[in-house]
Amino acid sequence: MTTNGPSSTTRVGSAEVLAAALPDRKIGVGRILRLSGTGIGLILLIAIFGALRPTVFLTVGNFVNILEQISILAIIAAVQTVVMVVGDFDLSVGSTASLGGALTAVLLMAGWSIPLAVAVALIVGALVGAVNGVLVSYLKLSAFIATLATMTSVTGLAFIVTDGANIFGFTKDFLPLGQGRFLGVPVPVYVAAAVSLLIWALLRFTTIGRRWRAVGGNAEVARLSGIRVDWVRFVAFVIAGLGSALAGIILVSRLASATAQAGDSQMMLAVAAVFLGMTMSSYGGANIGGTLVGVAILGVLTNGLNIVGVNTYVQQLLTGFIIVAAVGLSRLGQDRR
Amino acid sequence: MEKSRLIGLAVIGTAVTLAFGGCASGAESGSTASGTDNAGKKNIALITGSYGTPAAKSAMDMLITKGAAKGWDIKLQDTAFDYNKINSLMQDAASQKVDAIIVGYTTPELITLGMQAATDAGVPVFGLDAGVQPVDQVTLNVTSDNPWFGKTSAEELMTLVGGKGKRVLMLEHEPHPGVKLRSEAARQTFKDAGIDIVAEVQIKDPSSGRQEAMNDVSDYLTAHPNGLDGIWGGWDDVAMGAALALKNANSNIPVTGVDGTDEGLAAIQSGTSNLKATVWQDWGTITDKLVAGMGDYFAGTKLPENIVRVEGKLVTADNVAEFIK
């Protein structure tokens, strides 16, 4: 995204920013393909799996199943989106989720109340994000190096917290957070929806949201416009840490146990989802709507391939291909503008 | 800006200095990194492919405790199934001339470079659950009898589901040598008995295996609502994931696991979980035999064999109380 130098970023609306970023707004086939390629990919996947197993795949129960399976990834991807809007990325979101969950589990087993244990885990998650924020924003380390280092340290911390053991046997009152249902829909789905909505609202309607986008578009222009770029990036990382810890807490409740690495695998999926979503943006930036479509693609893909009965290894191969295909489709026509 | 960066760097520098200082002072109570300090004291490198699972942790912790009682300083390094890293760590340990290297949760065939480095340096290599075939370069490997685990748990699942013609799903992880052996034995047992293996699901990442198993089993149940009679889990964590998925689906399909983790045992004892049986790995006996064998070796006694296989025990609702700590 390029902002072309907004004179007062706090007063620049997203429409103006986007308009500035798009010198050519002609609607052509290439452009439509580029913007809707990922969405088309999702629809195609649903159509293909629906055609292959219509009575199984295209059922309300299965869609609820998919929503449940992607809810934790959706939370992590949503907060990863914030960091990527600013132009950075956070490799420590998965390990922060693991730590948040592990810490909650250990505190619950130590007799702490649920609200207190959850609050402490969230604070620790925010602190991890703050460390990333300081390293990237104020000490000017590259986000890759800083969050890679944090990821490693946080994983070690999670092992220390759990002593490498599997923590289980929580009070039953904690389990509805991950296993409960309301109106037939799993509770984690509501949490994921709430987090996504919050992030969307933050990005769309608030000053900090506009500043995130301005910094992501051109940090130098944003700085010249009077935005405290370092602070804005710092806040984005804190949000990522906080959200990741929340996802980890829900994961632990869902699994009724905690380990030091339970959430680690979510990191790469979250990054992939945001990248998929970026293809749906006219300015090529991270956006929450696109991210959720990216998350949905990953969820539908895994669920559909499982239902069709495709071997796990082939699933991994196909997942890679389909991500490339979705991104590739969105690139069609991009360079012709 | 510049000032804040300098302050930040100073804080980090201080923290790193304190951290290393703390580590160094802690290390002073142990031995030096290389060689034997005095009679009876041994420096041993324990290099494992796994520490992040309950069973692996339990075994490693037992080994370290029992070694410490003999005055051995056993330093643990976990590679999280990175076998190339095991090679590198073995090469490092060999160059430091440690008194022994113990490798865990790998097989000698996967770490030939490290094995050669140890042999060249004259450092003996011991194994904990490190393959089932005797290898000349290994002084002593005390291992779980993984094929027995697979066969025994498969037989119990057949008992639970009713035998020939029944349909089972297997949860596996081929990169883990022990789980692979269990899976092979279980698969053969099912085939010999005329059991229909409807799916063999490979878990991609054991650290998130429970979640993966839960999702995979949910998907399978969605696709085949009445297409399953039992689930065989290659280890307890994935068996627990399968049990959670079945519970969510209000299904009473039985699940078996392998490991005998505290959580698995508690689930069996509860009577409400779909996990109905597991095979308890006798880490107490395994580590006892390994420490005894290493002690004999250090004392100059020739070991009668270089591989010892230890069977486990089948745990069901009938005998689970014996295993609960």
Q: Determine the structural domain holding residue B214 and report its residue range.
A: 147-281+316-322
Residue B10 has pLDDT above 90, yes or no: no
**Partners of residue B219 in chain A, C-beta under 8 Å:** 65, 302-303, 306-307
Q: List B279's β-bridge partners, or say none.
A: B314
Return the C-alpha torsion angle A275, A277, A282, A286, nearest 10: -60
The rounded radius of gyration (Å) of the Cα atoms in chain A is 20
- Residue A325 and residue A332: Cα distance in Å, rounded? 11
Flag whether A88 is in a domain: yes
- Residue B252 and residue A336: Cα distance in Å, rounded? 59
Residues A138, B207: C-beta atoms closer than 8 Å: no
Residue B178 has pLDDT above 60, yes or no: yes
B262 and B289 housed in the same domain: no
B264 and B157 housed in the same domain: yes
Measure A196 CA to nearest chain B CA, in Å.
Answer: 22
pLDDT digits (tens, 9 = 90+) for B219-276: 999 999 889 999 999 999 999 999 999 999 999 999 999 999 889 999 999 999 999 9
Burial of residue B93 (number of CB atoms within 10 Å: 0-12, 13-18, 19+) = buried
Q: How far is CA A334 from the centre of its chain?
A: 25
Measure A83 CA to nearest chain B CA, in Å.
Answer: 22
State both tokens at B218: 């949910």
Burial of residue A330 (number of CB atoms within 10 Å: 0-12, 13-18, 19+) = buried
**If you measure CA to CA, which chain A residue comes closest to B217?**
A306
Among residues B142, B147, B137, B225, the alpha carbon closest in space to that of B187 is found at B147
pLDDT above 70 covers what percent of chain B? Answer: 88
Check CB contact of A257 with chain B, cutoff 8 Å: yes
B289, B142 contact by CB (below 8 A): yes
Measure A337 CA to nearest chain B CA, in Å.
Answer: 40
- Expressed in percent and rounded to 5, the helix, strand and coil fractions of chain A are 75, 0, 20
Domain count within chain B: 2
- Residue B72 and residue B203: Cα distance in Å, rounded? 37
What pLDDT does residue B18 have?
Answer: 47
Flag whether A17 is in a domain: no
CATH value at residue A212 = 1.10.3470
Phi, psi of B68 (to 5 degrees): -60, -35
B195 and B271 housed in the same domain: yes
**If you measure CA to CA, which chain B residue comes closest to A165?**
B54
CATH value at residue B213 = 3.40.50.2300
Facing A312 at nearest CB: one of B201, B218, B241: B201
Flag whether A16 is in a domain: no
B61, B286 contact by CB (below 8 A): no
B112, B55 contact by CB (below 8 A): no
B229 and B117 housed in the same domain: no
What lies within 8 Å, CB to CB, of A337 at 6+ separation is: A24, A26, A28, A30, A31
B170, B183 contact by CB (below 8 A): yes
Q: What is the mean pLDDT of chain B?
A: 86
Check CB contact of A59 with chain B, cutoff 8 Å: yes
Residues A165, B237: C-beta atoms closer than 8 Å: no
Flag whether A11 is in a domain: no
SS3 category, A105:
helix
Residue B32 has pLDDT above 50, yes or no: no
Flag whether B177 is in a domain: yes
Flag whether B61 is in a domain: yes
pLDDT digits (tens, 9 = 90+) for A125-156: 999 999 999 999 999 999 999 999 999 999 99
B122 and B181 housed in the same domain: no
Residues A134, B8: C-beta atoms closer than 8 Å: yes
Phi, psi of A133 (to 5 degrees): -60, -45
Measure B13 CA to nearest chain A CA, in Å.
Answer: 13
Domain count within chain A: 1
- Residue A131 and residue A266: Cα distance in Å, rounded? 20
Flag whether A256 is in a domain: yes
What is the ipTM score, two decimals?
0.73
Residues A139, B261: C-beta atoms closer than 8 Å: no
For chain A (length 337 residues), average pLDDT per consecutive 10?
Answer: 36 44 54 72 91 91 91 96 94 96 96 96 97 95 95 93 85 92 93 97 94 90 91 96 97 90 89 86 81 93 89 85 76 54
* Residue whose tokens read 């244990």: A117
* Residue whose tokens read 């402490």: A120
B161 and B271 housed in the same domain: yes
**Partners of residue A303 in chain B, C-beta under 8 Å:** 215, 219, 222
Flag whether B7 is in a domain: no
Facing A255 at nearest CB: one of B9, B203, B211: B211
Check CB contact of A165 with chain B, cutoff 8 Å: yes
Q: Determine the structural domain holding residue A216 and report its residue range.
A: 28-336
**Partners of residue A169 in chain B, C-beta under 8 Å:** 263, 266
Check CB contact of A206 with chain B, cutoff 8 Å: no
Flag whether A185 is in a domain: yes
Flag whether A6 is in a domain: no
**Partners of residue B240 in chain A, C-beta under 8 Å:** 257
State both tokens at B96: 């430091």
B82 and B122 housed in the same domain: yes
Flag whether A21 is in a domain: no
Burial of residue A225 (number of CB atoms within 10 Å: 0-12, 13-18, 19+) = buried
Q: How far is CA B37 from the centre of its chain?
A: 31
Residue B280 has pLDDT above 70, yes or no: yes
B253 and B157 housed in the same domain: yes
What pLDDT does residue A23 have?
Answer: 44
Flag whether B246 is in a domain: yes
What pLDDT does residue A41 have?
Answer: 83
**Partners of residue A257 in chain B, C-beta under 8 Å:** 210, 240, 263
Q: CA triplet B191, B192, B198: central angle to 5 degrees?
A: 15
B99 and B188 housed in the same domain: no
**Partners of residue A52 in chain B, C-beta under 8 Å:** none
pLDDT range class, residue B12, cuts 50, 70, 90 = low
What lies within 8 Å, CB to CB, of B104 at 6+ separation is: B46, B47, B48, B49, B50, B56, B59, B60, B127, B128, B129, B130
pLDDT range class, residue B135, cuts 50, 70, 90 = confident
Facing A166 at nearest CB: one of B220, B244, B261: B261
What pLDDT does residue B290 have?
Answer: 97
Measure B73 CA to nearest chain A CA, in Å.
Answer: 19
B123 and B170 housed in the same domain: no
